[in-house]
């Protein structure tokens, strides 16, 4: 095992939390059962790393195998780093019949055409997600496995999620993706975050949306303490309306755990008491960021409790409706 492989393995073992190390190594399956039994996972990470390196060297494992281990770890724990979403547009006629083998071959060949020294690994996950790992090299150097890019795509959907992609390699990756999925263009989808599962669930509509029906559901039961009874009676209808509108805008039950939304304002400053600012001709540029452990549930609560007015303003309802969390607002047209 050469030094780069050792280094990669050391870095990887440091990265994987101690609680997950055993199960990840077991799933990897590259070490025989007896070798795995010899590993004592209660030791310190440092000692464990040395042992693992020794075992892997003994088994004759290479960089290729270590990258497998990394891919298994990331696939099982995708909610780390920063994922950015892209959207494929203008499908060709045969875009809808692209199947896995074809996609794999086409992607690898297109990417290699654009950049010779790349190491590509493609694997299909049980939930039909296609995971791609790309380690980039160039004419002079071998692929750098320490800074690999990860891509997740579900075939026959327009969305692609990308992690750790440098601006230098971005056009190459996007072109290879566009061609191998038989589309004509790809554009930024303005949806990013740490939790891949949240981004995916939002775009694939894997959460309970609420639609108007012929049979409205009954009012939610509230506690009947006498003092609140009179207030409740008067407020019941307004409260029920707010709940309904909040539910229709954001959804029901557990919502995808989006963690932030950014609004970049390029609008004229409007405050009649501040002449100095309103006199300026240029728009006032500022950026507003909402952060939460679950932004959509927070916004839904704001709407249902009356903190945010209902019907919910398009600025907020666009987040679930358009599946974006980055907006640029100008005076002419909010996009």
Partner 1 sequence: MEGASARGVLSHLSLLEVQARSRGSRVPQQPSRVKELKAKIEALTSQRDQLKAELQLHKKLQKLRAPVDKQQEDGEDEEMDLDSESSELFHLMARHSELMDLLHAHNLIGGYDAITTNRGKGMCFSLATEYEGVYLDTYNLELNLKPNVRISRHNIPPFIPLNSLAEQSDLQSDVRPFLATVSQHLNAFAGRRQQLKLVKEQHKSVEVMESNLLCSILVLMFTVPKEKTALLCTLEYNDHARCLPTRVHLNCEDELLPDSPKWKKNCSLLMEVPVHRALTAIKKASDIV
Q: Which residues bind partner 1 (CB under 8 A)?
A: 91, 96-97, 99-100, 124, 128, 154-159, 203-205, 209, 211-214, 321
Least distance to partner 1, CB of residue 127, Å: 9
Least distance to partner 1, CB of residue 316, Å: 14
Looking at the Cβ atoms of 78 and 251, the one nearer to partner 1 is 251
The single residue listed with the structure tokens 């996609």 is 103
DSSP letters, 110-152, are HHHHH-SSEEEEEEE-TTSEEEEEEEE--SSS--EEEEEEEEE
Phi, psi values for residue 232, rounded to 5°: -60, -45
Under DSSP, the state recorded for 97 is G
The single residue listed with the structure tokens 């839904």 is 300
**Alpha-carbon torsion angle 196, 198, 203, 207, nearest 10:** 150
Looking at the Cβ atoms of 16 and 191, the one nearer to partner 1 is 191
CB 210, CB 278: distance < 8 Å: no
* Spatial distance between the Cα atoms of 175 and 171, rounded to a whole number of angstroms: 6
The single residue listed with the structure tokens 């959907």 is 157
Looking at the Cβ atoms of 154 and 263, the one nearer to partner 1 is 154
Least distance to partner 1, CB of residue 119, Å: 24
Least distance to partner 1, CB of residue 210, Å: 9
Least distance to partner 1, CB of residue 36, Å: 26
Angle, in degrees to the nearest 10, between helices 295-305 and 226-250: 130
Looking at the Cβ atoms of 25 and 186, the one nearer to partner 1 is 186
Looking at the Cβ atoms of 81 and 314, the one nearer to partner 1 is 314
| Residues contacting 167, CB < 8 A, separation 6+ | none
- List strand residue ranges (DSSP E) for 199-325, in order: 260-267, 284-291
Helix (H) or strand (E) holding 191: strand 183-193
Phi, psi values for residue 139, rounded to 5°: -60, -30
Least distance to partner 1, CB of residue 160, Å: 12
Phi, psi values for residue 126, rounded to 5°: -65, -25
Least distance to partner 1, CB of residue 95, Å: 9
Least distance to partner 1, CB of residue 193, Å: 18
* Spatial distance between the Cα atoms of 45 and 13, rounded to a whole number of angstroms: 8
* Spatial distance between the Cα atoms of 317 and 188, rounded to a whole number of angstroms: 20
């Amino acid at each position: 095992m050469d030094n780069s492989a050792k280094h990669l393995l050391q870095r990887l073992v440091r990265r994987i939390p101690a609680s997950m190390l055993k199960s990840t190594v077991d799933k990897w399956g590259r070490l025989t059962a007896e070798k795995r039994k010899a590993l004592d996972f209660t030791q310190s990470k440092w000692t464990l790393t040395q042992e693992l390196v020794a075992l892997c060297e003994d088994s004759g494992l290479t960089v290729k195998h270590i990258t497998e281990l990394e891919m298994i770890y990331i696939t099982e724990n995708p909610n780390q780093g920063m994922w950015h979403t892209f959207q494929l547009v203008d499908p060709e006629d045969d875009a809808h019949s692209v199947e896995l083998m074809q996609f794999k071959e086409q992607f690898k060949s297109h990417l290699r055409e654009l950049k010779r020294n790349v190491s590509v690994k493609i694997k299909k996950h049980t939930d039909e997600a296609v995971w791609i790992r790309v380690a980039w090299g160039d004419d002079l150097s071998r692929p750098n496995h320490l800074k690999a890019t990860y891509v997740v795509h579900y075939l026959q959907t327009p969305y692609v999620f990308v992690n750790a992609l440098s601006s230098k390699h971005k056009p190459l990756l996007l072109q290879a993706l566009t061609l191998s999925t038989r589309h004509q263009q790809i554009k930024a989808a303005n949806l990013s975050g740490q939790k891949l599962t949240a981004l995916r669930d939002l775009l694939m509509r894997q959460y309970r949306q609420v639609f108007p029906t012929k049979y409205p559901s009954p009012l939610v039961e509230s506690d009947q303490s006498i003092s609140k009874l009179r207030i409740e009676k008067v407020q019941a209808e307004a409260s029920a309306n707010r709940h309904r509108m909040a539910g229709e805008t954001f959804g029901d039950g557990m919502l995808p755990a989006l963690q932030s939304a950014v609004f970049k304002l390029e609008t004229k400053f409007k405050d009649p008491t501040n002449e100095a600012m309103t006199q300026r001709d240029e728009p006032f540029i500022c950026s507003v960021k909402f952060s939460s452990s679950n932004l959509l549930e927070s916004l839904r609560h704001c709407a249902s409790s009356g903190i945010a007015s209902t019907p919910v303003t398009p600025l907020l309802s666009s987040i679930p409706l358009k599946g974006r969390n980055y907006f640029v607002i100008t005076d002419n047209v909010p996009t």
